[in-house]
Structure 1
Amino acid sequence: MKAAVYYGPNKVEIDDVAEPDPRPGTVKLKVGFNGICGTDLHEYYAGPIFIPTQPHPLTGAELPLTIGHEFSGTITAVGDGVTGWAEGDRVAVEPIYKCDHCGPCRAGNYNVCQQIGFHGLMSDGGMAEYTVVPTSMLHKLPGNVSLELGALVEPMSVAYHAATLGDVHPGDTAMVFGAGPIGIGLWFALRGKGLDDVLVVEPSPTRRAAIEALGAKTLDPAALDVPGFIAEHTGGNGADAVFDAAGLTPAVATALACVGSRKPTISVAIYEKSLETPLLNLVMNESRIQGSLCYTGADFDAVIALMADGKYDTTGWVTRIPIDDVVDEGFEALHAGTKMKVLVDPNGES
């Protein structure tokens, strides 16, 4: 079968690899779609970062390996001892491997497991025609949720988890910095939580246009005094929650100048460089910065429910490509900014 195999920086090849068989407690999936994530880009251009160069403690895997951790699929075979799942079930995959015995795992916060692994980063993943996953990773897709949307459940759950940490409620004002896929996911999540007043700050005209087409209200930081606007917009109270999905010093500085007293700035970006963060505003406001990592099963279930209710739309920001085009039309196009979100179609389903 075809698979996108990572060998190291700037080297992902479409190889012919052996088709996997299910083991006890696992199922075999025919992959529907697999998204290329920002983490995949970091690995491609600057890695290996998270991809292990020696056996991972939970999976035993190391490079080279098949990448891909944002995917959906259809069960084609079940391993020994599997109950509750059957051939033909359509699923989204929550790709976390966890140890189940560290402090965070025992507290139910397995998304920050001290030995965390990901299917497709620390094991052979979903950017292939078939993959095998433990049943603990499976979330059934309702009939009206497509495999295309199913592949977006993982990144949208990253955003939903962050939105939940913001502790927002209908009637609140929220701000999202960055209109990439996670920023778009934050907008969907906040709207799904009942917020009408969600403002997206994005300097790129292309990205502003894409999220505006979905119905979002945007602010251009190059043309507007964003903190001044928010002060006037909120009667001087500031935003009830601010979310950084940009990962750049100017965005963080502006976010901290917009957040209200004792309100959170939720950081859900990957920071390639250290930031010079102006902390005086946090002190004077008694506001705070909260990190957000990954998701839990509850986030997956919430996103799938919102998708079934028609709250997510892929129009204008999602592109599907065949697996043979992963490098040119996937990694390089995303890196160049000519595409926003790419879903790889390894089986020609589209």
Structure 2
Amino acid sequence: MRAVIYNGREHVAVDEVPEPECGAGEVKVRVAHNGICGTDLHEYFAGPIFVPTEPHPLTGRAAPLVLGHEFSGTVTEVGDGVTGIAAGDRVAIEPVYRCDECPPCRDGHYNVCQSIGFHGLMSDGGMAEYTVVPARMVHVLPEEVSTELGALVEPMAVAYHAARLGEPGEHAVVFGAGPIGIGIWFALRGLGVPRVTVVEPSQVRRAAVESLGAEDVIDPTRVDPASHIRERTRGRGADAAYDAAGVRASVEAGLDCLAHRRNLISVAIYEHPLETSLIKLVMRESGIRGSLCYTGEDYAAVIELMARGHYDTTGWVTHVPMERVVKEGFEALRAGTEMKVLVDPVAA
């Protein structure tokens, strides 16, 4: 079968590899769509970062390996001992490997497992015609949810998890209108937050989120976010701020936007160390809190919202065949000419 192989920094190729076999407790999936994640971009242009160069403790795998952890598809085979999943089911995959033994896992927070791994980063993933996953990663999609939306469950669950962590109250501000920023905006609406401000310097991305229904979208090169938020909240500040941009300017501005004793939620990957003044945190008793991936509850909530028609892919999601993954995927995303790219392994 064909697959997208990560060999190292700026070295990704489409190659023929053996089709994986389905073992006990596993499920084989014919992949419909696989999204290119921001993490994949970091791996391609600056990695290896998360892709292991030595065998991972849970998967035993290291580069080179098949990329892809945001994907959907159709079940073609189930292994011995698998129940509740059948051939023909359309599914989304929650790609987390966890140990179930460390303190976070024992506390029920497996998304911060001390040995965490991801299908498609620490094992062969879904940017291929077929992939095999442990059965507990599988979420069966209802009829109302397309496989296109199914491939977006993973990033939208990242955003939903972050949105919940922020305890957003009446007013939230989101920095960045890329896929995760848009996902946070969708999640906040789904959680019933009445007022959401999106801060984005790119005209293309501002237009995209506005076309989805965002009513308060500002350009930080023209409008000071903190002043704007203070005016909209009568001086109080936002109940939650979210950094989905991953740059120092968004962190600093996000802290300036916060009301007292509220948090900025960081849901970005930072290629370079950031410096910020702790005095902002001290004077308002505010904080910065990290957000890592999701749980099964987040997946279920996103899938339910999708089934109710809450998510819309118009204007920000595009598809490319596997053979053009570098030029029309990684390089287009880096250049900002695309926002979210789904790789279709079976496209002509």
What is the TM-score when the length of structure 1 is the normalising length? 0.98
Counterpart of 2:52, as a letter, is: P
SS at match of 1:74: strand
Give CA-to-partner distance per residue, 1:247-301, whole Å, 9 cap, x none: 1111111111110011111111111111121322221111111110000000000
Flag as ranges the 4+ runs of structure 1 deviating above 6 A: none
Q: In the alignment, which residue of structure 1 is the partner of 2:209?
A: 211
Deviation (angstroms), 1:15: 0.5
Deviation (angstroms), 1:78: 0.8
| Alpha-carbon distance in 1 for matches of 2:232, 2:84 | 51
Counterpart of 1:234, as a letter, is: T
| Correspondence list, 1:156-175, <5 A | 156-169=156-169, 172-175=170-173
Q: In the alignment, which residue of structure 1 is the partner of 2:270?
A: 271
Matching of residue 329 in structure 1 with residue 328 in structure 2: yes
Unaligned runs of at least 5 residues, structure 2: none
Counterpart of 1:318, as a letter, is: V
Residues paired across the two proteins, number:
347
What is the TM-score when the length of structure 2 is the normalising length? 0.98
| Alpha-carbon distance in 2 for matches of 1:59, 1:250 | 37
Q: In the alignment, which residue of structure 2 is the partner of 1:225?
A: 224
| Correspondence list, 1:287-306, <5 A | 287-306=286-305
Matching of residue 318 in structure 1 with residue 334 in structure 2: no
Deviation (angstroms), 1:49: 1.2
Matching of residue 196 in structure 1 with residue 194 in structure 2: yes
| Alpha-carbon distance in 2 for matches of 1:8, 1:204 | 30
| Alpha-carbon distance in 2 for matches of 1:326, 1:251 | 30
Q: In the alignment, which residue of structure 1 is the partner of 2:155?
A: 155
Q: In the alignment, which residue of structure 2 is the partner of 1:249?
A: 248
Q: In the alignment, which residue of structure 1 is the partner of 2:79?
A: 79
Deviates more, 1:147-156 or 1:214-223: 214-223
Counterpart of 2:280, as a letter, is: N
| Alpha-carbon distance in 2 for matches of 1:56, 1:238 | 43
Contact 2:4 2:12 in 1 (8 A): yes
Counterpart of 2:301, as a letter, is: A
Percent identity between the two aligned chains: 65
Counterpart of 1:163, as a letter, is: A
SS at match of 2:259: coil
Counterpart of 1:183, as a letter, is: G
SS at match of 1:240: strand
Matching of residue 176 in structure 1 with residue 174 in structure 2: yes
Q: In the alignment, which residue of structure 2 is the partner of 1:9?
A: 9
Counterpart of 2:293, as a letter, is: C
Counterpart of 1:269, as a letter, is: A
Q: In the alignment, which residue of structure 1 is the partner of 2:239?
A: 240
Matching of residue 52 in structure 1 with residue 52 in structure 2: yes
| Alpha-carbon distance in 2 for matches of 1:54, 1:179 | 35
Give CA-to-partner distance per residue, 1:16-58, whole Å, 9 cap, x none: 1111110100011000100001111111111111111121110
| Alpha-carbon distance in 1 for matches of 2:304, 2:168 | 19
Deviation (angstroms), 1:226: 1.7
| Alpha-carbon distance in 1 for matches of 2:3, 2:224 | 48
Q: In the alignment, which residue of structure 1 is the partner of 2:94?
A: 94
Deviation (angstroms), 1:196: 2.3
| Alpha-carbon distance in 1 for matches of 2:149, 2:73 | 11
| Alpha-carbon distance in 1 for matches of 2:277, 2:201 | 21
Q: In the alignment, which residue of structure 1 is the partner of 2:281?
A: 282
Deviation (angstroms), 1:201: 0.4
Contact 2:93 2:139 in 1 (8 A): yes
| Alpha-carbon distance in 2 for matches of 1:20, 1:42 | 27
Give CA-to-partner distance per residue, 1:131-187, whole Å, 9 cap, x none: 000111011101010000000000000000000101124xx0000000010000000
Counterpart of 2:23, as a letter, is: R
| Alpha-carbon distance in 1 for matches of 2:168, 2:228 | 20
**Root-mean-square deviation over aligned CA pairs:** 0.9
Deviation (angstroms), 1:61: 0.8
| Alpha-carbon distance in 1 for matches of 2:227, 2:46 | 38
Deviation (angstroms), 1:348: 2.4
| Alpha-carbon distance in 2 for matches of 1:89, 1:136 | 15
SS at match of 2:133: strand
Counterpart of 1:278, as a letter, is: S
Counterpart of 1:168, as a letter, is: P
Unaligned runs of at least 5 residues, structure 1: none
Deviation (angstroms), 1:228: 1.2
SS at match of 2:151: helix
| Alpha-carbon distance in 1 for matches of 2:55, 2:275 | 36
Deviation (angstroms), 1:219: 1.0
Deviation (angstroms), 1:197: 0.5
Counterpart of 1:283, as a letter, is: V
Q: In the alignment, which residue of structure 1 is the partner of 2:105?
A: 105
